[in-house]
Structure 1
Amino acid sequence: MKNLLSAIFIFILLFTACSKKESPGFGAEPEIRMKYDTTAVDSFSTGAVSVDIARKIRMSSPQYLDSVKEAKKLQEEENKIKAELEKENKTKQEEEKKKAEAEKKQKASETPSTTDAKTQ
């Protein structure tokens, strides 16, 4: 009987020790994605270049520099055209004001002469 009780005790001890245990929270953790700063799949492969270095290379290329110069020229031309249009508009407005003032003076000088002619 003593052997039977000790065998049952050892069997229960082995059964509980060898059972599968699930770690709590292992399945609840979200998947973590890493962001790398390389353009190649493997950062140690040949041709792997840092994103910052690739950007500097692109910015120093002749095509990029030419496109920047063209954009500046276009912007300067647009600014010149706008300035010329503003000057023309100002001169037209000044001329219209002068014409309006001249017409007012003519009307003012004509009204007394017409009233004098009517009274005579």
Structure 2
Amino acid sequence: MKNLLSAIFIFTILFSACSKKESPGFSAEQDVKIYYDTMAVDSFSTGAITVDIARNIRMSSPQYQDSLKQAKKVQEEEKKLKAELEKENKAKLEEEKKKTEAEKKQKTSETPVQKETKTE
């Protein structure tokens, strides 16, 4: 019985000592991203260009220029649509104002007539 208890005690100590423990510091699993200013792996090799030059090359390409033209056309169309909507909204508001003014005039002109008919 004493041997069994001592064996259980030794096993619990071994399990707790051999268990995987996490260190509170820097973990090796974190990815560290390093940003380079060149496109090639070796910045001294032939054909290595800086990011700024690569950007200028991309910007001067016909595809980029075409995409700029398309974006400009889309913006102009949106502006035209907004202008048309604003004109329509203004016209509707003016019509509503005219209707309400006409209704007010009719109501004011009808009320004295009704008062006269009631008194007779």
* Aligned twin of 1:77: 77
* Aligned twin of 1:37: 37
RMSD over equivalenced CA pairs, Å: 1.7
Q: Which whole-Å CA distance do the structure 1 matches of 2:65 and 2:82 have between them?
A: 26
Q: Which runs of 4+ in 1 moved over 6 A?
A: none
- Percent identical among aligned pairs is 75
| TM-score of the aligned structures, taking structure 2 as reference length | 0.68
Q: Which whole-Å CA distance do the structure 2 matches of 1:103 and 1:79 have between them?
A: 36
Instruction: Report how many aligned residue pairs link the two structures.
Output: 88
Q: Structure 1: 5+ residue runs without aligned partners?
A: 1-33
- Deviation for aligned residue 1:63: 0.4
* Aligned twin of 2:87: 87
Q: Which whole-Å CA distance do the structure 2 matches of 1:52 and 1:109 have between them?
A: 76
Deviations 1:32-63, CA, capped at 9 Å, x for gaps: xx864211011222321111110000000000
| TM-score of the aligned structures, taking structure 1 as reference length | 0.68
Say if 1:90 and 1:35 are closer, same or farther in 2 by CA, change over 3 A: closer
Q: Structure 2: 5+ residue runs without aligned partners?
A: 1-33
